[in-house]
Structure 1
Amino acid sequence: MADNVITTVKGREKLAKAHMGTAALPAITQIGFGTGGHDTGTGLPLTPTGTETVVPGEVLKKNITSFSFPVATTAEIVGVLDYSEANGVSISAFGLYDSAGDLVALKYTTPKPKASDTRLEITWDEQF
């Protein structure tokens, strides 16, 4: 099943204002990892509303690991939960936060169990 991804209302508001020159667009600087992106009965990803202001069930928020531009219209963002982080939970929600601290994008997936022998890396392509 495909992941459910949305740009939040706050993210779309910031893009609109930046396009019209009335506000600067803050850089994406952090990624949040959470447990609340799936139906606990079926394990299937839920559908984000776009009104979320934090990653549901957020267990850790940290700086993005890296970014690149594989093509001119795509920003590829990488975030990592290392071996010692967030063990004992199943991660199913990921969110991108900008430098102002606002959640601007959200992704729900099937749950991924996190244990001390697991390193979880997410690559998020923002296509424009």
Structure 2
Amino acid sequence: MATSITTKIAKEKLIKARCGEKPLPKVMKIAFGNGGTNEVNEPLEIDLDQSSLNSELSRKNIDGYNITAYNKCEYYCTLTEQELVNEKITEVALIDEEDDVIAIRNFKAKYKDNDMQLRFFIEDEF
């Protein structure tokens, strides 16, 4: 079963935005990594204080988003045929315009071939 969190820094930014100290930065990128599982391909638990992926491979601008509920927004990004070929992807993260990781999701390995696109979704939930 996949694991996901909203990071501590994201929660701190939300509090500052709500009281008017600082505007909330937009989500801009999704990071992809291969350090989200243990040796038997089970997703690792994520620490609330974690501020990066365990083993980041690449970052890309998001393709778009969908607001799916009053408290959820789903962001998505597509890896093209040429990107991360033969990689085992096990973790993704949302990155805001200040380059901070605001959400992390670990999951069982998704293998990326060179003849296919692969789209990833990650939810931001409050």
Q: TM-score range by the shorter chain?
A: over 0.9
Runs of 4+ in 1 over 6 A off after TM superposition: none
Q: CA deviation at 1:116?
A: 0.5
The answer to whether the aligner puts 1:121 opposite 2:89 as a matched pair is: no
Aligned match of 2:110 in 101, 107, 112? 112
Which whole-Å CA distance do the structure 1 matches of 2:6 and 2:78 have between them?
A: 21
Match of 1:54 in 2: 52
The answer to whether the aligner puts 1:80 opposite 2:78 as a matched pair is: yes
Kindly provide the amino acid, as one letter, of the partner of residue 79 in structure 2. L
TM-score (norm 2): 0.92
TM-score (norm 1): 0.91
Which whole-Å CA distance do the structure 1 matches of 2:54 and 2:90 have between them?
A: 9
Which whole-Å CA distance do the structure 2 matches of 1:86 and 1:54 have between them?
A: 19
| Secondary structure of 1:22's aligned partner | coil
Conserved in 1, the CA contact under 8 Å of 2:78 and 2:120?
yes
Which whole-Å CA distance do the structure 1 matches of 2:13 and 2:72 have between them?
A: 18
List alignment gaps of at least 5 residues for structure 2: none
| 1:1-128 correspondence to structure 2 within 5 Å | 1=1, 3-39=2-38, 41-128=39-126
| Secondary structure of 1:125's aligned partner | strand
Which whole-Å CA distance do the structure 2 matches of 1:127 and 1:97 have between them?
A: 15
Give aligned-pair identity as a percent: 29
1:1-22 deviations in whole A, cap 9, x for unaligned? 2x10001111111111112211
Kindly provide the amino acid, as one letter, of the partner of residue 5 in structure 1. S
Q: CA deviation at 1:71?
A: 3.5
Kindly provide the amino acid, as one letter, of the partner of residue 52 in structure 1. Q
CA RMSD of aligned residues (A): 1.3
List alignment gaps of at least 5 residues for structure 1: none
